Structure 1
């Protein structure tokens, strides 16, 4: 389904529960249930829902991205029935996981995927008979890509893995478990066991992964037709289905010049493939395309993309109109406004209004603008808005719809804006399984497919009662499925329709009705720039005295609401709020804005965190003299930087972090060293270090002082708090980052512990490992909080500087 485009959280409402309650424990976490995606068919007849088993019953914890697919089941409800009820869509094996794919245009069939014994297969279910036909195809599964699309109700186009192989993402995750023992056995037998990558004149030394296949499948008779073979990643059928726009994995990126970096380690190409003949055109042969933007114009003559030339930075990239004949037209409406996304790195925003592109650019005065490029000139679509929305919620040839100031606005092609519905809390487009995030980002739905959670009857939307914490998970045809979660984490899925009263179809996490509720407080404060900010404090429901506080920072965009992962009932295994609140602590999610190119905020992060803590302490919400830090990934880097700046922290837990920016730059994960065909992430780590969160802007050989100043390893002598470092052997961030930091603390006889969890990736997933982690972490926090109060002021900047060159 398409994800929720906007959401507001007004607070956590109190739930009716038993007269007694108990603390939330790790066993409660392991029993958490959830839902995956949901959709209502176009005719409004069927609601289809993915139900996830309790976390601890997944079965196979040996993968990261595929973990929550295990044990997943598909449910269906007939919305035309007098009392709709969820039931299995078809008979599903107990040990397998099932995932919903795209629904055919007429709503007769749906693609389904099955994960069983680490094997991924595709099937098609007839929604009227509930019978499934399985195919010997392993359809690729990418994080943001579309890999299966219906041409009509009978024919399906897919990107399939090479014959006899599984999807590349699954092969990548399983490489250490399968290849490493094989290499050890080969060496033990006296055989060769080696992998190799190169640079400079040897850049092409790495063996390329086998090509994927575009296959058209007749799901009625099972016939399969090969359309093309190539390094295909993502596909989009043209409106007339005669052509496919496809993104491709091209050669590894060379480090052409100092500031060129990327999140993806290879150039992304774009090809236009004739569906019948397989003839291929490459409109911009050496361009590197951003993978989140690829969409056809209404007429199907052009594809909208954003690309850069070889050796150029993304800031020098341009929006492009790529004609299916092979010609290219650059869209020059001003400097593109780029953003950073954790999945795809740099992102540029654009969409079609019919056959005219609208692009997000920055004007000469620094204001963001949505500019519509037409044959008659250029129009600023959002000139009447106080702030420019990041993207539209709907668009067609005549209008674009934006959320602004809590209302839904319609803008015509002249830039004339008018309000459509006021007091909108959330917008959910009609759902479409298997679209992929790229399709959502680059192709806004039509207004007819939108459903709003508040509005008038005349707007054609469903009126919802709007509980405090809710999200619309599916909507179409006058019906909406809403997930509401209370302050304990009990989640109810309620069907709303214009025809009758709301009906609860499913209740998840009933066991949480017996645990203590979580109380949430908004902390208002002023940022370093003078901007008003909000941070979020989570508290035990009943405390006799202000509790100690665990701060869980992650610098980034300013937040108007807490992260969903912090709310009750969420499957967040790292610094879980309910577990920490259940242990008697308060948990603070601080708002620490970090803009692109900002390298100074991190040097004041302890001061900024403690200012928010002090604001909460002044309200007697927390004990401001007992403050601990817990960070993961970039959050771990943040807490270690904070620990070098102030002696006030009682203890620190840092998981999966980077502590020496120079040594992490230009390294790749273990699976790539074992199987270089999977790619070489050297450009990815260079991109993260230079252009993304670290913001170093150059290599360590050019500016060594900056790398030293921004790496907590080189300020380890200034750390006072006890530090628990946690790192996993399969993390794509090298485990030696934690080993280096631990070694620095060990050499100075400082209090520190290093935990290594084996078989884990960037997070801890195994129930046994999670039980162990929280026993150790809660003991660590208890020992820190029960020690003597510490100082109150941040300390000076780290020393000494890097040696002069």
Structure 2
């Protein structure tokens, strides 16, 4: 880690990653160690026969053998558990985990006897198959590929598994990208020995010579004999097997999506950087077909009809925007595309883009509208005239919809309806339902992009407590839900469910609930958190710039008796609207960096402001300080929040795009006494066109499209390249206004940050030249989200120390001094000191200034 600091003698009431004393009584605030030492109950799935439940359980985060897998890091602590639902009870290990390995669950076989599993180690990513009854696992010499949105594994029969693999001898591209830094030392060594290690990109006429990734394979694997046969070769990124098991639909990587000089990057064109071509592969062998040549497929919607070999997908012609695309209905037996009704447009929403569709018997069902319609609805596309299934309903949501057989179930807070093939609606009781979809994370993809084959239950809010109802079940399912329970897996034939409960502090329990028996505990986590008390969350009501009502949230720590109101830390993130009460609690992982939770644990009040992206054509930075301070003032005036913080003691903390927001705010106001900006860009001009660590893999794609799209049409909102809108870029780049900054600023970057560390270096240099108070910490080996427990401890200790230095800390006098906790050695054999600027030396150099002598920044 490198730390650069320019400041007057100041220092830190060096706050800690670990508070040693709790507040009055048994309840205590959360600490960094609570997060590092906590596990979580994650993905849970029930097999098709409803006999087995397989659970991904992540052990305490700090127990991982390594911390250099970026977004795959949670897998390194995950083990697999299994519960027998015929004899519900505590879940057992599915198989003994190996030292240095982490796991994830894949799909069940159609007969429910087996489940595919994945194993990640420092050197390999492997596929295995578990016999659920015998609890035995067989590992194959096969590395399934991983892509951002697609699937790489699917069952064609109870013993045949289809697998997309990377090129022979290569790790999956996604794994290599998450550890891109490991490709650097061999390049350096080559140069050190007199060789060359160029990475070359080409454009224009030379683009045809750009190196490409080597093709992978689609394998058919016999899980009983281990025999593998290559069905097709190509640069495949997604896979879906038909219900009959006779065909595989695969998406293959095609040509790059060329950037258009006269149009913003991404935007209406979508975020895809390469075309995706459809191939249909016979599972028994034979030639693959390309039924839609020239079509660019939307990754995320590949859904087979339940009783026919027909595939529903969404495609556009090369060069079209996604909203100009169309649904395609492909008969795999003949390769023919059915003609769908003209004048109908599916709704294309989100980024990456989503089209919601499925099958009602033999007819496609899709969310969208006909020409001239004023709202999106669910339509059945059969014959020349589409049928509006939800046109008679007061609401037609895209989410909260499930499809079983020939009935569509729609659940909204206003009520639930069951719709037949003609759109005849039957009101379902009780009223006041809310959709309840199983919670999941990990390697599963496409959740919410397509309609499932099973109806989903709904949560019903009742005065006596919440209940789980299946509105479309053949027999009534009516289950009482524990307070705050989340649905993890549902067994409709058994009329039962697996739900997870979380205590306010972070204890977790996975419960098997049925109608006729008390809940059975299947798995529990984090009993040590029984005394943790999370902050209170109080709504703050205000209006948006356009006059619409908004709600922000004030998080208030438990105050000691007689203590003054604490300082307020505002955590902005432009584009985030907090319409629901924030779930500020330990989830067993620190990868989300719960700044708000840990700030309240240190005694600060925290404001989470709702900040819609500007719709007036201005960029993200203009007028942002006034918007944020208006919310602070609204909270100060509101009777139930005004006494919970000191509005004369304000600080800012932002992460990623939130860091850019922080930098913009302190160029516009001096009202904040301190600021922290972590992992953010200081200039839209310099962020535009950056490669990041994509520079390591020129064969993968031209990486500049991502940063260009971010600056022009995503969060940057510039709408054009810098040479076409220079004034707009200057107005929204805090670096160009560094002369206005007077707020003491701590900046934090990772060495391999996707928001390049150079962004922090530029702003530091601008303030350094002006002799402004600033500190920059660049953490070696880290990316955009910190991974190592040592880094996390140091980061939070540094942040707390910086805040305590510049804000009145009287509210914390009743808490333990944290300097000793911060300066103690990090309990890790992998700690390496790269400089004298350790957290311990920082604390040793620091002394807490009094209110009278507190330094002021320039």
TM-score (norm 2): 0.83
Given the alignment of the two structures, is residue 702 of structure 1 paired with residue 724 of structure 2, yes or no?
Answer: yes
Shift of 1:767: 0.6
Shift of 1:32: 1.5
Shift of 1:425: 4.3
How do residues 363-512 of structure 1 correspond to structure 2 at under 5 angstroms?
364=372, 367-396=375-404, 398-421=406-429, 422-428=431-437, 436-438=444-446, 440-447=448-455, 454-455=467-468, 460=475, 463-476=478-491, 477-512=494-529
Shift of 1:215: 0.7
Equivalent residue, structure 1, for 2:317: 309
When residues 399 and 456 of structure 1 are mapped into structure 2, their CA distance, relative to the original with a 3 A threshold, is closer
How do residues 324-723 of structure 1 correspond to structure 2 at under 5 angstroms?
324=332, 325-327=335-337, 329=339, 332-334=342-344, 336-341=346-351, 345-354=352-361, 355-361=363-369, 364=372, 367-396=375-404, 398-421=406-429, 422-428=431-437, 436-438=444-446, 440-447=448-455, 454-455=467-468, 460=475, 463-476=478-491, 477-543=494-560, 544-556=563-575, 558-564=577-583, 571-594=590-613, 599=618, 602-618=621-637, 619=639, 620-670=643-693, 672-723=694-745
**Which deviates the most, 207-216 or 520-529?**
520-529
CA distance in 1, matches of 2:24, 2:647: 33
**Which deviates the most, 447-456 or 364-373?**
447-456
Q: Which runs of 5+ in 1 are unaligned?
A: 1-16, 790-805
Q: Which runs of 5+ in 2 are unaligned?
A: 1-22, 461-465, 809-848, 852-858
Shift of 1:253: 2.0
Shift of 1:696: 2.3
Superposed CA deviations along residues 49-71 of structure 1, whole A, max 9, x for unmatched, are 11111011112101101111113
**Which deviates the most, 578-587 or 618-627?**
618-627
Which structure's relative contact order is higher, taking Cα pairs within 8 Å and 6+ residues apart?
Answer: 2
SS of the residue corresponding to residue 428 of structure 1 reads: coil
Superposed CA deviations along residues 221-266 of structure 1, whole A, max 9, x for unmatched, are 2111111010101111122222221112212221134325342322
Shift of 1:323: 4.6
Tell me if the contact between 2:35 and 2:586 (Cα under 8 Å) persists in the aligned partners.
Answer: no
Aligned partner (choices 31, 55, 64) of residue 61 of structure 2 = 55
CA distance in 2, matches of 1:571, 1:508: 16
How many pairs were matched up? 766
CA distance in 2, matches of 1:229, 1:449: 41
CA distance in 2, matches of 1:249, 1:101: 23
Shift of 1:441: 1.3
When residues 183 and 273 of structure 1 are mapped into structure 2, their CA distance, relative to the original with a 3 A threshold, is same
CA distance in 2, matches of 1:366, 1:397: 29
Superposed CA deviations along residues 285-337 of structure 1, whole A, max 9, x for unmatched, are 33333212222234545433333333333343334334541547466445554
CA distance in 2, matches of 1:119, 1:565: 35
CA distance in 2, matches of 1:608, 1:777: 25
Shift of 1:34: 0.7
Larger Rg, first or second structure (1 or 2): 2
CA distance in 2, matches of 1:222, 1:596: 57
When residues 728 and 448 of structure 1 are mapped into structure 2, their CA distance, relative to the original with a 3 A threshold, is closer
When residues 740 and 384 of structure 1 are mapped into structure 2, their CA distance, relative to the original with a 3 A threshold, is farther
TM-score (norm 1): 0.88
Tell me if the contact between 1:333 and 1:378 (Cα under 8 Å) persists in the aligned partners.
Answer: no
**Which deviates the most, 273-282 or 578-587?**
273-282
Tell me if the contact between 2:578 and 2:609 (Cα under 8 Å) persists in the aligned partners.
Answer: no
CA distance in 2, matches of 1:104, 1:71: 25
Tell me if the contact between 1:488 and 1:568 (Cα under 8 Å) persists in the aligned partners.
Answer: no
Equivalent residue, structure 2, for 1:798: none
Tell me if the contact between 1:351 and 1:444 (Cα under 8 Å) persists in the aligned partners.
Answer: yes
Given the alignment of the two structures, is residue 171 of structure 1 paired with residue 194 of structure 2, yes or no?
Answer: no
Tell me if the contact between 2:57 and 2:81 (Cα under 8 Å) persists in the aligned partners.
Answer: yes
Shift of 1:273: 2.2
Superposed CA deviations along residues 514-565 of structure 1, whole A, max 9, x for unmatched, are 3333222222222222222222222213354432222222233634324546
Superposed CA deviations along residues 685-714 of structure 1, whole A, max 9, x for unmatched, are 222222322232222222222222222222
When residues 718 and 566 of structure 1 are mapped into structure 2, their CA distance, relative to the original with a 3 A threshold, is farther
**Which deviates the most, 241-250 or 294-303?**
294-303
When residues 365 and 108 of structure 1 are mapped into structure 2, their CA distance, relative to the original with a 3 A threshold, is closer
Tell me if the contact between 2:676 and 2:746 (Cα under 8 Å) persists in the aligned partners.
Answer: yes
